[in-house]
Chains A and B, each alone.
Chain A
Amino acid sequence: MGRLIPNVKRDVTFPAIGSILLFVAFVGAGLVYQSFFGGAGERLVTIALIDAILVLAIQIYVGNTGVLSFGHIGFGAIAGYVFAVLAIPSEQKLERIADAPFGLASIDMNPWIALVIAAVVTVAFAFIIGLGLGRSGAESGSVAATVITLALLFVTHEVARNWPDLTGGDRAGLAFPIRGSLDSRIPIYLALFGAIVVARLYAQSRSGRLAVAAREDNLAARAMGVNPLVQQMSALLISVVVVSVGASLRVYENGSILPDNFFFDLTLLTLVMLIVGGRNSVTGAMVGVGVMTIGRELARRLGQDGFEIFGIGLDSAPLDWIFRENLQTVFLGVAMLGFMIWRPSGLLDDWELDEWLYQRFGRGADPKPDTLPEVDAVNAETLRAADVEVSFGGFKALDGAGLEASGNEVVGIIGPNGAGKTTLVNVITGMVAPTGGNFSIDGNDLSSAPPFTLARSGLVRTFQNLRLFGALTVRENVEISALVAADHRKGRVLPDADSLVAEAGLWEHRDRRASELDYGNSRRLELARAAALAPSFLLLDEPTSGMSDSESLTMIEQVRHMAATVGAGVIVIDHDLAFINGISDRIYALDQGRVIASGTPAEIQADPLVQAAYLGTAAT
């Protein structure tokens, strides 16, 4: 048998090595820069280091879940104020916010303890916000979630401005006794390194991978037993911890905090950095911070001094109308627009340094895994659906359909277009709520369970119109299911993911993105991905659609073999009757949302009702 998941080398060792390299490269570049530009350069680099922590935090959420968040700087504001209120010596606080609630003004706390408390408090806020985010995101799409994050940013700003008893208000703010109280960069270095490691390891972790699967295709992820809300919440909480640390350090380094420090400008800056580099990559986020820090500084200097900064004696007077103070804000806005219009995936897309290193140096021999033995044990589970009804706005897609399948047979469903075949599979996999009837496995009623629960109970489907996790490799697609199976299909023999890839005939394509596969291979990958969940029943929705006749016939063997390998029963819909007749032990024929016949393939072919349904009755 092949190896276990996770692959320690790929998922831990190399990301750790990559993190060190990224850190060294970034800090090294910063040190080189400041050695040229002295004091001003030093400050710029310090700020860039902290910006990088914030950008990495946003990357953890945005990159892995695909939900755009404007709210992370708002979380930063919460953390920043908690940190400031706790860590600033009571002497200063009694001057500014003597009336602060809970006697906060007279607290003197070690800044590092304050930082931890700031993170804890902010995470508590994030948890509550996250509940609303997840619910509305699931209902109305990620746009609604994004608006909530934007509102959060706005409201933290409003509260900070209008609660002077706690925050020192709009003008004065809160301040440490001397500016730049943080006299050493060591904490920043440590936090940055930590942020890189956390971001990389999270992306490689179970939760990170499942979140990415849901990012690529939410519906398919749910059908594979992933509950996206859980993964999005964990991504949010982890990212908020990192953002809290970054924000606290920013306040500490700056020596003060004002509402405007954590508002639109910083949101724009961090988001531009993230998308310029490539939001789906930690390396990209770091590159984005570097590129935009330099670009912004250049724009700022151009705005101030024109071409003089190059010392080449060029006369920039004709361009004076462009080179104004604050040129950098235009630069940031234009960079955001330009990248969205011409290169929305950023400079690096999802290229990751350590993955590249792993592919080059870490793989070693990657022997093709052994073939999997077919499971001997008979799967005695029975799926039973009865009297299922579904109406869409007056149209009855299913009108009392039912079927029964046991775990050791292949059951086909046929019927003309619109007969209700796909709707039946949708009901059984929780995608469509039935308006009547029920279905169960071994007597356990599952009629109203959500898709991911059904998948974990052993009902796993494929999709008519292919829903692969496009940006993931072939291997990673199958591993997603294997990860879910490891937690939720414990009682069964779990097939090795690599072996399933090989069984599906995809071994040579194992490291290609799923989106690059041709049609037939995509179908085979969907089958392997479903099989990796060690299902009790595989539900295949038109597995041969778009295949040539000869390809369809080879699918018969592949489906049967794959099902036998994981010991699953098969329920298959297809319009290719040669395929259905070849693969099925029994067939149900549907028409008008009802079962009109059931029996062996030969019986079905001879059935006059079926013939009439397919060919149409002669005109009367």
Chain B
Amino acid sequence: MTELLQNLIDGLGRGSIYALLALGVAVIFGVMHLLNFAHGELITVSGYAAMWALTSGVSWWLAVPLIIVVSIATSLVIERVAFSRVRGASDFTLLLTSFGVHFVVQAIFLLYVSASVKNFPRPGWVSNTYSIGSLKVEWFDTVVILVTLITLAAVTYLLQRTMFGLSLRAAAADFDTARLMGVNSNNVIRGAFALSGLLAGIAGVFWLMRAGQTQPSAGIDPMLKGVLAALIGGLGSLRGAVLGGFVLGLAEVVLRSQLPDSIASLTEGVVFALIALLFIFRPGGLITVAHAERV
């Protein structure tokens, strides 16, 4: 029982970050039908910014807003330079464009910064824990879960209660009709990228706090987690993306602790096998979005 509770808390901490990443992926998929394989690059770029700032003596308190701002700016720049040129193109083109962006960003850091892993100091409290009964809870997980809940509440407010959120949801549901209502397609797409960058920035803060390092290929892992979580939840569904993030986080933690030692290091493989099974039996993901097939 205690072990399960412990897993639950650890899993929620991990899943929170995935949920933020997946939500950013889902927002862009909604408005542009683009699955953004370059989503992790937001963390690569902001990771280098954090490394630069932290190693030149800036405190984490200042690094946090820096990471978020850099992430949003990177998201907008990528949209402007690459994705704005392939709006409305086929899925194939969109996918490979984002894959190309992923590689170009990675290669730029590889060439012009360094191929090696760059370390930076982690905030001291990251590995501190406190106890509730027999449970050992990390301060870090606590903060992550709280911030994520606040962020999700704020995003919900943004989407439900503001005109921008309304236009974003309308555009995701039916882009042409939203334009007919006067919703400007540039604004809504850029807004989606900014929101996606914001979410990746918050996730990135935690990701980087825990990692304490960055490298050119640092974006692959968060990208994959975000994209997979969005897919598990059901592509196109924002709620599904958040749910998918938590499910993925929990599955990883539970499996890692429950699998026999001999294959515990293969958790990723087992998780993937489960995802493959999920798609055989529930091909639309957890929350299926109706895809009307126009005949």
B63 at the interface (CB under 8 A from A): no
Given A142-B92, A143-B35: A329 and B111 within 8 A (CB)?
Answer: yes
CA distance A608 to B96 in the complex (A): 58
Residue from B99, B228, B277, B280 in contact with A336 in the complex, judged by beta carbons closer than 8 Å:
B99
Interface residues of B in 217-241 (CB under 8 A from A): 217, 220, 224, 227-228, 231, 234-235
Which listed residue, A141, A147, A333, touches B104 by the CB 8 Å rule? A333
A141 to B289 CA separation, bound complex (whole angstroms) = 12
Q: 0/1 per residue, A56-92, Cβ < 8 Å to B?
A: 0000000000101010000000000000000000000
Contact call B295/A422, Cβ cutoff below 8 A: yes
Q: Are B276 and A143 in touch, CB under 8 angstroms?
A: no
Q: How far is the CB of A299 from chain B (nearest CB, A)?
A: 11
Interface bracket on B: 35 or more
- Tell me whether A135 and B280 are in contact (CB under 8 A): yes
Contact string against A for B residues 102-118, beta-carbon threshold 8 Å, 1 for contact and 0 otherwise: 01101110111001000
Q: Quick check: B99 and A144 within 8 Å, CB to CB?
A: no
Q: Which of B191-250 contact A (CB under 8 A)?
A: 217, 220, 224, 227-228, 231, 234-235
Say yes or no: A340 contacts B96, CB within 8 Å: yes
Residue of B nearest to A303 (CB): B111
B54 within 8 A of A: no
Asked if A155 is an interface residue, CB under 8 A from chain B, the answer is yes
Q: Which of B86, B99, B104, B294 contacts A334 (CB 8 A)?
A: B104
> Please, which residue of chain A has its CB at the minimum distance from the CB of B262?
A165
User: Given contacts A336-B103, A337-B82, are A135 and B91 in contact (CB under 8 A)?
Assistant: no
CB of B283 within 8 A of chain A?
yes
Q: Tell yes or no: A152 within 8 A of B by CB.
A: yes
Q: With A and B bound together, what is the CA distance between A330 and B268 in angstroms?
A: 30
Which residues of B are found within 8 Å of A271, using beta-carbon distances?
A: 96, 99
Q: Is the interface of A mostly helix, strand, loop or mixed?
A: helix
Contacting pair B283 A142 (CB below 8 A): no
Report A317-332 CB contacts with B as 1/0, cut-off 8 Å: 0000100111101101
Q: Do A147 and B231 touch across chains, with their CB atoms under 8 A apart?
A: yes
- The answer to whether A336 touches B100, judged by C-beta atoms less than 8 angstroms apart, is yes
Cβ contact within 8 Å between B107 and A340: no
Q: Chain B residues near A333 (CB, 8 Å)? A: 100-101, 103-104, 106-107
B92 contact from A68, A131, A144, Cβ within 8 A = A68
Q: Enumerate chain B residues within 8 angstroms of A70, measured Cβ to Cβ.
A: 99
A148 at the interface (CB under 8 A from B): yes
Q: In the bound complex, what is the Cα–Cα distance between A150 and B220 (angstroms)?
A: 11
* B265 interface contact, C-beta 8 A: yes
Q: With an 8 A cutoff between CB atoms, is A193 at the interface?
A: no
In the docked arrangement, what's the CA distance between A155 and B101, Å? 22
- Nearest chain A CB to B275's CB is how many angstroms away? 7
Nearest B residue to A142, CB-CB: B91
Partner of A143, one of B91, B99, B106, B294: B91
The answer to whether B103 and A340 touch across the interface, beta carbons within 8 angstroms, is no
How distant is the Cα of A56 from the Cα of B278 in the complex, in angstroms?
31
A159 to B273, CA, bound (A): 12
Q: Among residues 426 to 446 in chain A, which have CB atoms less than 8 Å away from a CB atom of chain B?
A: 426, 431-432
Please give the number of chain A residues whose Cβ is less than 8 angstroms from any Cβ of chain B in the complex. Answer: 56
Residues in chain B near residue A68, CB distance under 8 A: 91-92, 95-96
Q: Is the CB of B276 within 8 A of A154?
A: no
Contact B227 A147 (CB under 8 A): yes
Mask: chain A, 112-148; 1 = CB below 8 Å from B; 0 = not: 0000000000000000110110011011111110111
Chain B proximity of A236: nearest CB distance (Å): 14
A464 surroundings in chain B (CB, below 8 A): 295
Contact B266 A66 (CB under 8 A): no
Is A163 in the interface zone, CB < 8 Å from B? yes
Whether A341 sits at the interface, judged by CB under 8 Å, is yes
Find out whether the CB atom of A340 lies under 8 angstroms from the CB atom of B100: yes
Contact between A155 and B110, CB atoms less than 8 A apart? no
Contact between chains at A337 and B283 (CB < 8 Å)? no
* Bound-state Cα–Cα, A162 to B259, Å: 14
- Bound together, the chains give a CA A154 to CA B103 distance in angstroms of 15
A340 and B86 contacting across the interface, CB-CB below 8 Å: yes
Q: Which residue of A lies closest to B264 (CB)?
A: A162
B285 at the interface (CB under 8 A from A): yes
Query: A265-296 CB contact bits vs B (8 Å, 1 = yes)?
Result: 00010010001000000000000000000000
Q: Mark B282-295, 1 if CB is under 8 A from A, else 0.
A: 01110010010111
Partner of A330, one of B35, B92, B111, B220: B111
Counting CB contacts under 8 A, is B90 at the interface?
A: yes
Say if the beta carbon of A463 comes within 8 Å of chain B. yes
B80 within 8 A of A: no
Contacts of A136 in B (CB 8 A): 279, 283-284
Find chain B residues with CB under 8 A from A307 CB.
Answer: none
Is the C-beta of B167 less than 8 angstroms from some C-beta in chain A?
no
Pick the residue among A155, A324, A337 that contacts B269 (CB under 8 A): A155
Check B153 for interface membership: any CB of A closer than 8 A. no
B139 contacts the other chain (CB 8 A): no
Q: Which of B108, B231, B295 has the most CB of A within 10 A?
A: B295
- Return the chain A residue nearest B293 by Cβ: A219
| CB closest residue in chain B, given A158 | B268
| CB-contact partner of A337 in B100, B231, B234, B266, under 8 A | B100
User: Of B100, B265, B285, B295, which contacts A162 at CB under 8 A?
Assistant: B265
Q: In the bound complex, how far is the Cα of B280 from the Cα of A128, in angstroms?
A: 9
Q: Contact check, B97 vs A337: say whether CB atoms are below 8 A apart.
A: yes
Is B235 touching A128 in the complex (CB atoms < 8 A)? Answer: no
Contacts of B97 in A (CB 8 A): 337, 340-341
Q: List 15 A-B contacts (CB under 8 A).
A: A70-B99, A135-B280, A135-B283, A140-B291, A144-B283, A146-B91, A219-B295, A264-B217, A326-B107, A333-B104, A341-B82, A341-B85, A344-B89, A422-B295, A465-B294
In the complex, given contacts A219-B295, A344-B92, A344-B96, what are 10 additional A-B residue pairs having Cβ atoms less than 8 angstroms apart? A68-B92, A138-B283, A148-B231, A219-B293, A326-B110, A332-B103, A334-B104, A337-B100, A340-B96, A431-B293
> Which B positions have Cβ atoms within 8 angstroms of A?
33, 35, 37, 82, 85-86, 89-93, 95-97, 99-101, 103-104, 106-108, 110-112, 115, 217, 220, 224, 227-228, 231, 234-235, 265-266, 268-269, 272, 275-277, 279-280, 283-285, 288, 291, 293-295
